[in-house]
Amino acid sequence: MKPLLVQLLLAAALSLAAASAELKHDLYSAVVNDNGAFRVAVVDGPTLNVSFVRRWTAFQRPPHTQFVRRGGEDTNQAFTFKYFWDKGEVVERIEFNPTGFSVFYDYTPSLEGDQSYLTLLVENNIPAGAGYQAAALRYEGQGSIDTCPFPMDERIRYSQISAWRKNEAVVCLAAENGAWINCWPGCFGVVNNGRSWDKTRYKAGQTYRTGVTCQITGRASSGR
């Protein structure tokens, strides 16, 4: 197992917390933990575990949740978490609807420092060689689209990634707030360090923002 993936999986231990809410739709079911991490199990598709972590840092402590708010109706549910984590304040907003979800993180440090390792982590249970295909829009490249077997080249930055397998659901992730998506072994990393890596240091009180939207559609008719 690659060192990067080991660190990411250790960091994702944040997701090991008690469930505070469970939702079920035709296309997926979701469990939201009381620390803000959540899991989405796609019907006829992968399972996604979502959390906010700092890459290369093992055994990160789960945040102490100071404020949780839930709203919406039966088909559209929204959650807001506010907590102090890693020397800063995090505001997390999750919105679920019948065809997917979106999640946004605002991190405001209390001290100036390098925030380039902050990551919206989306773990997936898609093993290499499992027959998944992918189509992705490059973050750079004037809208060029890559189509290839999944997983994809982890060195390339993408704005959107769709993954599917024949007769299974199509899962599409789109980065928000100017962020990009890396496809690492076993996970997607949504990172926002500026188009030229020029937004890595933040002063006290400045806010780092990242987010992702996930859209789930019906079964793909083919594997290509």
pLDDT tens digits, 140-180: 866 778 888 787 888 899 999 999 998 899 999 999 999 99
The CA dihedral of 169, 155, 104, 159, to the nearest 10 degrees, is: -70
As for how many domains the chain has, the answer is 1
Give me the CATH number covering residue 117: 2.70.98.10
Dihedral angle at the C-alpha atoms of 7, 42, 90, 112, nearest 10 degrees?
40
Place of tokens 């020029």: 198
Q: pLDDT (tens digit, 9 = 90+) per residue, 171-219? A: 999 999 999 999 988 899 999 998 888 889 999 999 999 999 999 997 7
DSSP H helical ranges for the chain:
3-11
Residues 6+ apart with CB under 8 A from 27: 42, 43, 98, 99, 100, 169, 216, 218
Tens digit of each residue's pLDDT (9 = 90 or more) over 150-160: 878 888 999 99
* Segments forming the whole domain that contains residue 81: 3-219
Residue 224 lies in a domain: no
The predicted pLDDT at position 203 comes to: 95
